[in-house]
Structure formats: C-alpha cells, structure tokens
Structure 1
C-alpha cells in the first residue's frame, strides 16, 4: 500500500527531469563565467562611474544653468498729446491759358495769305493772315482823287471870296463918296456872303472825302489779321482761297504769359483762402508753387463750388492738363499722432496700440525688460504715414511703432537703440 505524503514532500519541489536541470545550469554558467573573466578595472570602474553621475545630478551647485532669456528688441515712440491739427486736402482743377482767343477778320473777303502754322510762336502785333485787298485799294484811289477835286474846289472858291471882299471894300468907298448907289453896294455884299457859303460847302466836301479815305485805310488795316498778344498758334482752321465772312474764326491763339489753374473748392474750404497766398500745385510729375489770384464771387451752377484762380510760374504746360491743388486747414481735435504702422486691429471695429510697461521689482523679469500692454484707440484723422488717435492711451507712454505682428500683450521686450 502506498503511504500518505509527508510534510517534507510538500515543501520541496519535486526534482526536475535531467534535461531541464542541465539546461538551467548552462544558462547560469553563461552569465557568471564572462564576469569572472573580465579585468578588475572593468568590474569595479563601471559601478563607480554610475555612482558619480547620480551624485552630480543630485548636487544643486553642479547642475547646468538654463539659457538666459533676452527680451525682444522693439522701436518705440512717445505719445505726445495735441489739441489741434492740420489737414491737407487735394482738389482737382485744370490748367488754362491766361488768354485764349479765336481770331478772324472783321471784314468779309477772300483769304490771300496765311502767314503762320500751328505751333508757331508769335509776337504781339505780328501779321497772321491777309485778305485780298485789291478792291479796297481801288476804292482808296477813287476816294483820294475825289478829295483832291474837293480840295481844288475849296481853293477856287477861296480865291473868288478874296476877290469879292476886295470889290466890296472898293464899292463901300465909292458909296461913301456918292459915286454909286446903295443898291450896287448891297449886291456886292450879298455876293461875298454867297461865296462864303460856297467855301464852307466846298470844305465840307473835302472833309467828307477825307473821312471816306480814312475809312478805306481802316478797312485795309483790318484786312490784315494781327496777333493781339504774344502767344502760340494752337489751331489753323482755314487756308488760302477760302471766302470768309466777318467774324469767322481762322486761327486760335493761346497766350504765352504764365498760365493759370482753375479749381473748384467747397465754400467752407475756400473761406480761409486769401489772394496773394502761395499754394502747392501738382501737374503731372511737376510740383509747383502757385499764387492765388482771385476767388470768383459766384458759385458754379453745376458743382456748387467756388472757382479759385491761381497763377502758375511757368508757361510750358499743356492747356487742359489736370492739376491738383493742396490746401491745408487747421482743425480742432485732441489725440496723439502715431505712425500708422503702430495700429493693430481690435474687436468691434476699433483699433489698439501696444505700449511698454515696466514690471514690478522682484518679479523675476528679464534684465532691463518691459512688458507689452494694449490700449484701445480710435482713429480721428489719417494723413499719409501717420494717424491721429484718441482713446485709453495716456500722455508720455511709449508706443511700439513698428513690428507689432511680432508681439502680443504680456511679452517681454526692450527698446532698441
């Protein structure tokens, strides 16, 4: 019969089979034998190195220092308050000539000669064109001959009157002596008076012939078209051989004197302008200083603006060119002038700017660093590269002028030199 198991058999495991026992002994031998064969410095040096590394990591004085944090450099400007500011408005106008005339003959006739071409510079009084004057010249010759006849008639009557006056004096003497009757004296006196009347009539005929002659001379002068002022021929409308009527345009002449600019301004903008003041005017790529000549008293019916006339210092600009007049006005308004690059879009259609605030002492901030804070502002006026703003910004605060896209509120920065 089999006996019951004893206590010793419950504590010790049953012996392993022989193959498994041999395999476990071989694994322990693989771990122990190489360690026994290693040099002594290897067996003892590796544990010592590990111990030193742990001691170094646990020592506060020997730990590596973290890298130093340097504030971001920024450019800043001081917020200085203003109570008024100048605004510059540009108004568009047109370059005009001081005088521009469409010239023609006062008389009707046939154009005999045109003496200028388009673009020619002419002086005042210079002939520009002529009409056919042969008819007028013939009329002048006739009038001159009639005048000569009238002058001869006057001379004849004058001589007759002189003779009649002498005869009257002799007859008066004879009548005083009683040699002739009173009737003979009266006839002689009447004859002298008649000759006097004939002399006046003959002299009036001379005056009439002289007037006709002068009229023909005027017509001859008007048959030559002359320049009323110095200028440039801008258009030649007709050529030789054309029959023209009185007043028909033949040549357009533009004055060569300094040109003018006419600009329409709103009445409130023109209120502060004074004749004689100088204002900047831009024509194309040329910047000029024009003198204010006049403000026309009537509003333009179409635009309801005041026409301002300015005299330019040059006369070589094309007539009709567009001119831009810059007018400055002083307006009241409180705020701060800042670069437009300092503005940052905020919520609700507002704007904001970033200012520099000094951190409290002992707060662990970087050396010489300042912290970025935000101020809400609104734009009062913009002009070029600067804007007038008002809002929570305080006088004297340093405002970041550029590079706002690199910072946010709370970032540490320092002013760049």
Structure 2
C-alpha cells in the first residue's frame, strides 16, 4: 500500500491531527472535577481573548544545583629519600640496582672500614685494661698484703727498740770516755732512721687496712667511661660507613658505583615508598572545608576511575596558587612482585580529582531557570513577575535583577524588586509584554498535561 506524498495531502493530515487535539482538550475542559484537564485547557486553547498560558514558579522554590570542581594533580611517592654516607671514604659495595625492592633496615651500600675496625679493637683492649684496674681498686688490698705490712711494722718496731738501746749504751760509754763521740753519733742516727722506717711502714699498713680511697675509684671510673665513649664514637663512624633503607620501597636512582670516593655531600641512592602512592592536588579552601582524612574520593587516570581516599590535608595555603594541598592515597589495583603498580600508575603521572561543592546562597538571592531571564539595560537582567491586575486577572510585570552566578541551566539572582514567594514566568519571555494577561500554570500541572497527551 502506498501513501500520498503531495503537499496538499500532508496539510490535510496535519489539519486532522490538530482537530483531534482540540477535541481532546475541549473534552478535558468540560470536566470540572479533573484538575489535569483544567490545566490542559489553559495550555492548548490560547486563542481569542483568552489569557496566554505560562509556566510559573515561586522564587525560593528551586534549590542550588550541585557543583563539581575538577582538579589536576600529580602521582607521587608517599615518601622519598636521597641517601648518602655520613662520613667520607671509598665505596666498597652498592648492593642494589634501580627498580629493586628494598626493606626497612636493609644494607644498601658500604664504605671501606678496615681502619675503623682496627681502631675499635684497640680501644676495646684499653677498656678491658682500665676495667680490670678499676675492679682491683674496688676489691681493695688482699689479706696477705695487709699481713705482710703488719709483719713489717713489727720488724721495724723491734729494730727501733734495738737502735734506741744501742744509742743509750753508746751514750754511757762516751760519758765514761770508753767510747768515741763518733760511735755515739752513729748509733743515734741509726735509731732515727729505724724510727722513720717504722713510721712509713705504719702509715702503709694503716692505708692498706683502710682500703682504696674514693678519689682513686672516681678517677678510674672516669677513665673507663672516657674509653667507652671513644668506642661508641668509633662504632657510630662504622655505622655511618653504610647506608640502610629507611623504609620499605623501591630504588629510584643509583648515582655512584664501587671505588668512588663518597662523602656526606654526595647522594648515592634515591629510594621511593610506593605503597601506597599518593596524588597531590591543589584544592581551593572552599572545597577543602568539606573534606576530611579517610574520606573516599574518585581519582581519574586516563580512562580509568579509581576509588581512593584522602590521606592528609596540608594546613597552610600555598601563597603562589592560593590553594591547599590534598594528598590522596592511591590503592594498588593489581600487586606485582617487584612492588610496581599496574595500569601505568607511576610517580609523575597526571591525575584528576572531581569534588562536589556546596554553593553558597544568601537570604536575598534565588535560583531560577536561565530561560526565565532576558537581557536588560545597564548590565542587568529582567524577568516577568506574575501579579494580580486591576480586573482580577493575572498579568506580568518586568522586574530588573542582578545575576550573581550561573550554572548550566540555572542562575542565581538578587534584586530589590523581587522577594521570596514571588511568582515568575519560567520560560517563553519572547511572547510576553508588560501588562499582558496570562494564565499561570505551575510546573506540576504542566507535567500532568504532558503525560495526558502522551497517553
């Protein structure tokens, strides 16, 4: 079966469709109890002296639309360290290569330390000697030594008595001219010598009985402590002759090889902590207020969307960008034995972060559809307010407003000529002129009419 394609035939068909639509609308109007039919009559029949149907809304009815801010950031290691020896020397070995996985405390590089090992052994021997002497002083003299000193005192005491008797005898002989003065003097001085020797032996005996003096103990203990401190210093130098991994990670760069003279100013290795990786974003302070550590977020890398969480937020503002740094932890999607990430997630790659932000609205500002606005004069915009006219009909009046911000379909406005609850025309301002009679239709009734026409 073929259908006519002439222009007259198409016009005839259009007329028939229009007639059916008018008939349906008229039947809907005739039912006073049907609210949807009443709304349909206002929209479909707009001929003659009838008011023009318009869709209206009340100011304050629309809430602020969600806002999504996109930020660009960079994937980076959560920790990184450039490692160097703390003392100078020749590099003996470097045990890792670039890309190797390392564990905390693992020895990564070593200096030649034979000279330090010899110094440590010699210092340890001196400490052993000093500690032995200190132990002897703390123990005090032996009982045998004290007994020998007592015997020496007894011997010298007897010798003193003998010398004194001899001196007395020589004195009597000298008085009777039976002996010379020289012989008497020799006996007298011999007695003095014996007395002095007895005094010295007595003092030594008393010292041995009293034990070691506290000053000697303090001096010897200080010597032992000084030698132990020297040993610790040499042991620190020995530890400084090697580089250990400060955390679990991956070797990013190796700068020196064996045989090179290294020192504190020469970096040997660069180690990165890649579990987890982090993405650094500079976020506006307004958006940061809605964030907290541990909060889940979505990070986009190329075509992949990764579920991550906020790790930390830096407390100060970057003076150059006027943003705050937000560090997002990137979970490992597919673990690999070498510690790397799958899907090309590596430090230095660019990532995106989308954040929903809350729009701030004032008490005297309202959200309206962009279709309800028309450009006015002096940089202002205008909308049509629906008010009651002199004859009790609804008419429209022009109101000038200021646009504060816009979204894809909405705009936030303010002005002294509008207030909360005012009804305004939502669309179709090109058909209206100030003072024109209109038939307001709210958005809910409009949706009922649309559903009726579809059925």
Same fold (TM over 0.5): yes
Q: Which residue of 1 aligns with 2:264?
A: 246
Distance 1:347 1:159 in 2: 105
Deviation of the 1:313 alpha carbon: 3.9
Q: Which residue of 2 aligns with 1:332?
A: 362
| Structure 1 pair 318–75 and aligned structure 2 pair: CA distance change class (3 A) | farther
Q: Larger Rg: 1 or 2?
A: 1
Q: Does 2:146 match 1:168?
A: yes
Look up the SS of the partner of 1:338 in the other structure.
strand
Q: Which residue of 1 aligns with 2:324?
A: 308
Q: Does 2:116 match 1:136?
A: yes
Equivalent residue for 1:186, pick from 194, 203, 207:
203
Q: Does 2:255 match 1:237?
A: yes
Distance 2:17 2:280 in 1: 71
Q: Does 2:87 match 1:107?
A: yes
| Structure 1 pair 162–194 and aligned structure 2 pair: CA distance change class (3 A) | closer
Distance 1:249 1:92 in 2: 34
| Structure 1 pair 253–265 and aligned structure 2 pair: CA distance change class (3 A) | same
Give 1:3-402 correspondences, 5 Å limit. Answer: 68=19, 78-81=57-60, 90=69, 98-148=78-128, 150=130, 162-163=141-142, 166-169=144-147, 171-172=149-150, 181-189=198-206, 206-255=224-273, 256=275, 259=278, 261=280, 263=282, 265=284, 269=286, 284=301, 286=306, 288-290=308-310, 293-296=313-316, 300=318, 302=320, 305=322, 308-314=324-330, 319=347, 321=350, 326=355, 327-328=357-358, 330-340=360-370, 342=371, 345-348=374-377, 350-351=380-381, 378-390=402-414, 395=421, 397=423, 399-400=425-426
| Structure 1 pair 240–198 and aligned structure 2 pair: CA distance change class (3 A) | same
Deviation of the 1:244 alpha carbon: 0.9
Look up the SS of the partner of 1:312 in the other structure.
strand
Deviation of the 1:207 alpha carbon: 4.6
Look up the SS of the partner of 2:145 in the other structure.
helix
Unmatched 5+ stretches in structure 2 = 1-14, 23-42, 46-52, 160-197, 333-344, 389-393
Distance 1:345 1:328 in 2: 27
Deviation of the 1:265 alpha carbon: 4.6
| Structure 1 pair 350–277 and aligned structure 2 pair: CA distance change class (3 A) | farther
Structure holding more strand per residue: 1
User: Could you tell me the TM-score, scaled by structure 2's length?
Assistant: 0.53
Unmatched 5+ stretches in structure 1 = 1-63, 359-369
User: Could you tell me the TM-score, scaled by structure 1's length?
Assistant: 0.56
| Structure 1 pair 84–292 and aligned structure 2 pair: CA distance change class (3 A) | farther
The answer to whether the 8 A contact 1:97-1:259 is kept is yes
Could you give the per-residue CA deviations for residues 128-185 of structure 1, whole angstroms, max 9, x where no partner exists? Answer: 2222233322333333444455556667x6699634x643355448758965733322
| Structure 1 pair 75–98 and aligned structure 2 pair: CA distance change class (3 A) | farther
Distance 1:301 1:235 in 2: 32
Could you give the per-residue CA deviations for residues 16-41 of structure 1, whole angstroms, max 9, x where no partner exists? Answer: xxxxxxxxxxxxxxxxxxxxxxxxxx
